[in-house]
Amino acid sequence: MTTAPVPESRVYRHLKCGGDTIVNGDAFESMSNPFANMSRTWCTTCNGFYRVAEYEWSDTGEKLTDYYARHGTGATSFQRFVCSRSVGIIGMIIGLVLGLVAGNYLLLNQPQGMRFLFTLFGGFVGVLIVVMSQAELQKLIARRVCGVRDTRLLT
């Protein structure tokens, strides 16, 4: 593993307009991760979201979809499954239901209005927990498969 500092940003190019967009922070972390299921991203020139297949990294000229395929190669089918969008969606539904039930039962003897709000809040928390857990798993699996401590180090 390299000890090089984690880059803060990277530039990608929209093939259609040739415009460059700088990505940094959490967005860069997700975008650099081949297991994060990025589907669309922003172009500052066109002021819109487009499919990742329409972009390349400006520094290497590699299409984002090729980059994801290349770095994702070493994953097992189980690792791919855990990171997949279907698991994310099913997980969110389960999280929502469990959260709604928990929120509803926690305030069983409280006034209806308060119970209703708490039920909604429970559902929201349930979904949030699932989304955050899958994001962490995607990072963990990417680090293991790609052999880096941060996917922003990948080129």
Residues found near Zn ion in the complex (CB under 5 A): 14, 17, 19, 43, 45-46
Q: Measured between alpha carbons, how far apart are the two ends of the chain, in Å?
A: 14
- Least separation in angstroms between residue 58's CB and Zn ion is 12
- Pick the closer one to Zn ion by CB: 21 or 104: 21
Residues 6+ apart with CB under 8 A from 106: 118, 122
* CB 19, min distance to Zn ion, A: 4
Q: Which is nearer to Zn ion, 42 or 116 (CB)?
A: 42
Q: How far is the CB of 18 from Zn ion (least distance, A)?
A: 8
How many whole angstroms separate alpha carbon 64 and alpha carbon 67? 5
Q: How far is CA 99 from CA 38, 86, 108, 120, in A?
A: 26, 20, 14, 8
Q: Which CB sits closer to Zn ion, 3 or 47? A: 47
Q: Name which of 23 and 43 has its Cβ closer to Zn ion.
A: 43
**CB 71 → Zn ion: shortest distance, Å?**
24
The answer to whether 126 touches 102, Cβ cutoff 8 Å, is yes
